[in-house]
Structure 1
């Protein structure tokens, strides 16, 4: 492999300006992150502790092997979405190492609305199950939930991808041999009761864990019977009488020890080791904020990014002299091989063909793919339409859509329109997708959209013999630009689960190393490409 070299002047005005702009974007994401991690706040955490319970994040920390990473999924979910705060959608999910094995963890945060499921909480749960299924990861459910948030039941209950899909997924994954393990560490009511009862094995905590289809209030309303929660569905009943749970735990710590023991005796394979020893890049990843351009219309030098992400800054480039507005090639991250596709300009017919061919090669050689987005889209204009830009772009979208090697996407700059699809945006099925704080994504850029809408209005008025005044044009443009700017931001994307995480550039190597280790141990799938129009 060739060693990438850097020509960045870290003392330049451009580098400083970029870094300052990035810091302001990072601050906006960090405020959302802090709100997510705070959960229900100090008062709710104190009440939790008084009941002898750990918080959701404490439970995950005690469950994971010491010193190992946790790749959190959907941390910013529901941020500023509802008319009330619902940090992390009252659910913490992610991928971590338990007893030497990668697992997917689901932990209800009962400090937030009693751990009830909001619509985004259900979507987050389903997304984490999708990741677990695709990668063959055991699922560990740390249950502490009051069930459905009833005021929003129409967005939670009746649809194919609503609450019931959680239970269907558990059944199907169990049937496929993917271990399903639950620890009931708090309330587990109504439909939520089916999470532990459908799992392969279930632990329940004495005094705090309860499982029942109808709680004491519902039982009294329906039958007149007066019964307390522990008698109705506590640990003693369910481990000694009903058989609903398998293991009796004295407290949260004991329950987590039992879960670790259950995971350890399942036949899930240990974490895959990298085929070669990892090496640090020759250039510091901490320099990336100064390289990512402050203006989204400005160029981000692709090879400078790769020099700070790839092991030893080594990169074997594919067709370096052809289709130069996209850079493709192979390298390693954390010792794992990876094929990289990164934008270095707009997509033309030749760059589209080059990237499609490279995807084919990675599929043939079973190399995972990493897409680094900084793309305005495909080139437009009469010349390029005549050259077949639509069909050549479609070849790339076809290849990306149907490739069954593990695919990962990170939006590092802009990601607009069909360019997002070609670079394996969310709709193309990446195993995991993230954004840097510098990322931005909409169907078209804000300024372009505003200009198009103003031109349409001008044409309408021209047919009436009128002209568009500057004030009228501004009244059209301003709300569009403001809306697009807000909707394109990483925190907005993360809140709606359009990406799995918003990560810092310096975290990217760790994030990708765990992702590639997960992919290396996942079931292999056969690729069948669709028809490529010639």
Structure 2
């Protein structure tokens, strides 16, 4: 049964939703620009050293005019400080999937304009996620390194221990047959020296690149030996004496040109079809309300994501609040699962059936989250909601096809799990600015605690203090609501980025192309990866 859209984007309510979404998008762009501006403050220093700023390096590495998918741009937002006005997002690095000499690559650059590129706590989590994406999607990992290493002023032992996973993943990428290419633009000290050490190809810049396990201050403190930075780990030494570097570049531009040649030599270029224009994409701004209690028909979203608006709905009359449908995005066959309300018994069974059907067909599944979770109540419990919801979670967990998730609105309770939230390892997960994620709504949480507290006091023969009860209620609501916000959850890397709803089709097409390339790309795994010689 094909779905015919009926949403009118010109109505007053549609325009209200559009205006609210545009406000959120302006806030998002302002946060991303905050990191750009902070990094650009270092321009005088970079100019004096004859260097390019990190984003200029990325721009020169990438093919001009080709798409680039930024990833995790809000990483660390409000995690370094609770003050939103002073928090710099990005995790201290610029990253995304783009094209280098026609080859789709994972590109990661130290944002050395901020704290000299020192690795931030959420920056570590960000690069681990980027490595995971590169490994799963067979993407060459191109790393533009200039980092002061760990920030010793913010030293935490768990960061040091867990940071070893960064180097473990570089070894895993190489062993899997995925090239790891590093341009050492500046310093790499202590653990940072293992970034080039665990790369397949290393390009160094004369007079700027440094890589050593112990820099001059640490060396003198530990052994009393005095040596210059160039003697310990300069580019000329490493390319001519130690063998750590393969190529010696004269400056950043030369180094990036060499990197492009190295990627071209992989022979991994593929022809790509162009994504057709999407004149209906602006309607997506008008669909999601700021107040998530207002009803939304996610079929209106689905139909604007698929080729030609062709959407085939699955079991439309059964478990109608759970929407399952088939379509194509940029030629890729996909199944959609979305929510027009809480997931009931019929909806859970329908979704389980549909997931298995997509696995049989080999079609990727796209989850559009907007649910308050699995439905509760006596009738639901007696009908077996727990076991039927569990079947859906089992299907999501063990699906044999790629799964992609877009958090459009509410993502509450176990609905986050059943709709392939972060813990269920979707291949990619993005949020709209309207998304909210929590175990439950703030008022629901506060009301639950109020009932529990009142019952506890009643058992003691006491009554609650109305003033204190109201204060506690408001505090709980504030805690839940602030943590549920899409910018906050993205700062915690609970998604791969917040996107403009209008770009959803293009983002999904890009990701599906990436997955399709990975499925056809032939790797030549090695037992231990490429060792430095």
TM over 0.5: yes
Number of the residue aligned with 2:531: none
Number of the residue aligned with 2:446: 450
Q: How big is each residue's C-alpha offset from its partner over 1:187-245, in whole Å with a ceiling of 9 and x where there is no partner?
A: 11111111111111110011211111111222232333433323332111111111110
1:129 to 2:127 alignment: no
Q: 1:54 aligns with which of 20, 29, 52?
A: 52
1:434 to 2:433 alignment: no
Number of the residue aligned with 1:76: 74
Paired residues for 1:102-501 under 5 Å: 102-155=104-157, 157-159=159-161, 162-268=162-268, 270=270, 273=273, 278-281=275-278, 284-501=280-497
1:34 to 2:36 alignment: no
Q: Is contact 1:326–1:345 with CA below 8 Å preserved after alignment?
A: yes
Q: Which runs of 5+ in 1 are unaligned?
A: 525-534
Structure 1 CA distance for aligned equivalents of residues 209 and 328 of structure 2: 45
Structure 2 CA distance for aligned equivalents of residues 507 and 155 of structure 1: 40
Q: How big is each residue's C-alpha offset from its partner over 1:394-417, in whole Å with a ceiling of 9 and x where there is no partner?
A: 111111111131111111110001
Q: Is contact 1:271–1:517 with CA below 8 Å preserved after alignment?
A: no
Q: How big is each residue's C-alpha offset from its partner over 1:431-463, in whole Å with a ceiling of 9 and x where there is no partner?
A: 111110111110111111011011111111211
How far is the alpha carbon of 1:49 from its aligned partner? 2.5
Structure 1 CA distance for aligned equivalents of residues 404 and 10 of structure 2: 33
Structure 2 CA distance for aligned equivalents of residues 270 and 344 of structure 1: 39
Structure 2 CA distance for aligned equivalents of residues 294 and 222 of structure 1: 58
Number of the residue aligned with 2:17: 18
Structure 2 CA distance for aligned equivalents of residues 271 and 75 of structure 1: 28
Q: How big is each residue's C-alpha offset from its partner over 1:355-414, in whole Å with a ceiling of 9 and x where there is no partner?
A: 111111111111111111000001111111111111111111111111131111111110
Q: In terms of mean alpha carbon deviation, does 230-239 or 494-503 score higher?
A: 230-239
How far is the alpha carbon of 1:28 from its aligned partner? 2.9
2:301 aligned counterpart, secondary structure: helix
Number of the residue aligned with 2:526: none
Query: TM-score, normalising length from structure 2?
Result: 0.93
Query: TM-score, normalising length from structure 1?
Result: 0.93
Number of the residue aligned with 2:100: 98
Q: In terms of mean alpha carbon deviation, does 463-472 or 233-242 score higher?
A: 463-472
Structure 1 residues 280 and 314, CA gap change in structure 2 (3 angstroms): farther
How far is the alpha carbon of 1:168 from its aligned partner? 1.0
Q: In terms of mean alpha carbon deviation, does 447-456 or 26-35 score higher?
A: 26-35
Q: How big is each residue's C-alpha offset from its partner over 1:267-301, in whole Å with a ceiling of 9 and x where there is no partner?
A: 54536658xxx4445x6211222211221111111
Q: Which runs of 5+ in 2 are unaligned?
A: 521-533
Q: Is contact 2:392–2:418 with CA below 8 Å preserved after alignment?
A: yes
Structure 2 CA distance for aligned equivalents of residues 85 and 349 of structure 1: 43
2:90 aligned counterpart, secondary structure: helix
Structure 2 CA distance for aligned equivalents of residues 435 and 38 of structure 1: 24
How far is the alpha carbon of 1:181 from its aligned partner? 0.8
Q: Is contact 2:40–2:53 with CA below 8 Å preserved after alignment?
A: no
Structure 2 CA distance for aligned equivalents of residues 356 and 335 of structure 1: 25
2:104 aligned counterpart, secondary structure: strand
How far is the alpha carbon of 1:337 from its aligned partner? 1.9
Structure 1 residues 329 and 8, CA gap change in structure 2 (3 angstroms): closer
1:89 aligned counterpart, secondary structure: coil
Aligned length: 517
Structure 2 CA distance for aligned equivalents of residues 29 and 69 of structure 1: 20
